[in-house]
Amino acid sequence: MSRALDQTGTPGTTELPVELRELSERIRMQPPAVRAELEPLMEEILEHARFRSRILTVARDALEQLRHDLELARFDLDATRRERELLRQLLRMD
């Protein structure tokens, strides 16, 4: 599914698939009786799509933070190993 900004079109808001936006627009063009039946369902679908998008954003952010933390831990481990080896060398010289 392709992605585009949600109906407000404002940056930083939850993205919705283009297909859902198009479907929502088509529902708005229907006669009032059909629209009254479909709009509540469409709103529920849109809310679920926004929720999933927010969850994915949180998951991506958490994964990015985990990767960053892992890089820091690796750097710290490498520095600790270098320091240990240097200390071993210094102790052997005595």
pLDDT, mean of each 10-residue run, the chain (94 residues): 42 71 94 95 95 96 98 98 96 83
In this structure, are strands 16-17 and 3-4 parallel, antiparallel, or unpaired?
Answer: antiparallel
Total domains present in the chain: 1
**What is the Cα–Cα distance from 91 to 27, expressed in whole angstroms?**
79
CB 8 within 8 A of CB 22: no
pTM to 2 decimal places: 0.62
């060398």: which residue's tokens? 89
Tell me what pLDDT residue 85 has. 96
Domain coverage including residue 72: 3-93
Tell me what pLDDT residue 93 has. 84
